[in-house]
Chains A and B, each alone.
Chain A
Amino acid sequence: KAGVTQTPRYLIKTRGQQVTLSCSPISGHRSVSWYQQTPGQGLQFLFEYFSETQRNKGNFPGRFSGRQFSNSRSEMNVSTLELGDSALYLCASSKTGQDRNYGYTFGSGTRLTVV
């Protein structure tokens, strides 16, 4: 079966712009989580969505937002981009969220570069 699909794979944006990243979870998975990975801060939790509702949010500024659609696909948006937003953004899915105890299935990420 298809895995977690993230698009685009690479993205280059200019400071001040906004960006939207997309994540399509495994079919049947309703929980989608987002993580930011940088060399300095490592992997940090952004937010988690389940059935179109945000259930938890990490310690990121309000410029970072997300949403989930009825087909479980999720998007995250970053407005007013800063150089420090350059990172690999990883999406992970699970069936219910509770089954995260068994491990997530991750996508290959979107590499965002802000110049």
Chain B
Amino acid sequence: AQTVTQSQPEMSVQEAETVTLSCTYDTSESDYYLFWYKQPPSRQMILVIRQEAYKQQNATENRFSVNFQKAAKSFSLKISDSQLGDAAMYFCASLPSTSGTYKYIFGTGTRLKVLA
């Protein structure tokens, strides 16, 4: 069975500082995708960043970057220059690329608080 684990239920960061959210996963798939989604109080899940497992290069989107360690099955999210608008629940998710598999496996989430 595939699992995604987020071991930090809650994290806090000072505005303008950097924070790293942890995620580990377990999969028997040879190819898969990994995602970080953000869920603000509006409840809509918003895609933050994605990583293709066959690519060694870590994905980056503006202030958001990942540290993808395939052998360790680790996929952490780094948020630089944290802003008040970054406060939200963050979910890590995996998606097997095997044909016929259509579901994301989500972690339990990390609540990020940004302190002014």
Q: Which of B45, B91, B100 contacts A92 (CB 8 A)?
A: B45
Contacts of B103 in A (CB 8 A): 33, 45, 48, 56, 58
B35 at interface by CB-CB < 8 Å: yes
A43 adjacent to B104 (CB under 8 Å)? yes
Counting CB contacts under 8 A, is B106 at the interface? yes
**Please, how many residues of chain A have a CB less than 8 angstroms from a CB on the other chain?**
26
Residues of A within 8 A of B (CB): 3, 33, 35, 42-45, 48, 55-56, 58, 88, 90, 92, 97, 100-109, 111
Residues A109 and B43 in contact, CB atoms below 8 Å apart: yes
Interface string of B3-36 (1 = CB under 8 A from A): 0000000000000000000000000000001010
In the complex, what distance in Å separates the CA atom of A102 from the CA atom of B95?
10
Which secondary structure dominates chain B's binding surface?
Answer: loop
In whole Å, how far is B93's beta carbon from the nearest beta carbon of chain A?
8
Contact across chains for A90 and B45 when beta carbons are under 8 A apart: yes
Verify B50–A103 contact, CB threshold 8 A. Answer: yes
Known: A42-B107, A42-B109, A45-B103. A104 touches B47 (CB 8 A): yes
Q: Given that A42-B107, A42-B108, A108-B42 are contacting pairs, would A103 and B102 also be in contact in the complex, using a CB cutoff of 8 Å?
A: no
The residue in chain A whose Cβ has the minimal distance to the Cβ of B104 is A45
Instruction: Tell me which residues across on chain B come within 8 A of A33, comparing CB atoms.
Output: 102-103
Of A92, A103, A109, A111, which is in contact with the most chain B CB atoms at under 10 Å from its CB?
A: A103
Given A43-B91, A100-B95, 19 additional A-B pairs, CB 8 A:
A33-B103, A35-B104, A42-B106, A42-B107, A45-B102, A45-B103, A56-B101, A56-B103, A58-B103, A101-B52, A101-B97, A102-B50, A103-B37, A103-B50, A104-B104, A106-B44, A106-B45, A108-B42, A108-B44
The 4 closest A-B pairs by CB, nearest first: A45-B103, A103-B47, A106-B45, A43-B106
